[in-house]
Chains A and B, each alone.
Chain A
Amino acid sequence: AQSVSQHNHHVILSEAASLELGCNYSYGGTVNLFWYVQYPGQHLQLLLKYFSGDPLVKGIKGFEAEFIKSKFSFNLRKPSVQWSDTAEYFCAVRREYGNKLVFGAGTILRVKS
């Protein structure tokens, strides 16, 4: 069964620091990859997605992620975080043409102002 690993459960950064959140998955076939964000008290929202093509994808609010197939990774990055980026971030993977979206355990990001 496919699984998704997020390396850090809690990350604390100061404003303007750079962010990188790790995500690795176990499935060996073609996959669709997603990052979702959950702001405090809200539901999950899509940050960005990768289906095919350029492995560097850009999402909303200045976030980007790079798909490295050889490393089974899809790390999320942001050059300069803001206090409003405080949230929980989830990586998710779905087999191409599959029905199930499998989530990682999430990373709670706290940005200090």
Chain B
Amino acid sequence: NAGVTQTPKFQVLKTGQSMTLQCAQDMNHNSMYWYRQDPGMGLRLIYYSASEGTTDKGEVPNGYNVSRLNKREFSLRLESAAPSQTSVYFCASTAGPYNSPLHFGNGTRLTVT
């Protein structure tokens, strides 16, 4: 049982380049989330998908887009990367969304130069 799988683990981009971060979960969870983690700022919610077919903005959605491809997969796209998007990105899922904890992936460390 792999849980939440994120790819890639590391990525370096130049300013203006685009890329998609992939996330898949095998726990039949309904809700999926994308967070970014920055030192001293904790985790901030970028986008989430409460259920298949729906997506909503979180605290810091600017510069990102998401796709809930099916129940298992939730991707995060950077159309034109900026240095301010250098961060560690975590995907998470939960059965709920109500009374269930989040299960996190191992993260993607992204550097934009």
Contact = CB atoms under 8 A, between A and B. Distances in A.
Contacts of A90: 42-43
Interface string B92-105: 10000111011011
Interface residues of A, number: 26
A16 interface: no
Contacts, number: 53
Contacts of B42: 4, 6, 90, 103-106
Contact of A103 (B43, B48, B56, B101): B43
B101 A34 contact: yes
A105 B40 CA distance: 6
A97 B98 contact: yes
Interface of A: 4, 6, 9, 32, 34, 36, 42-46, 49, 51, 90, 92, 96-106
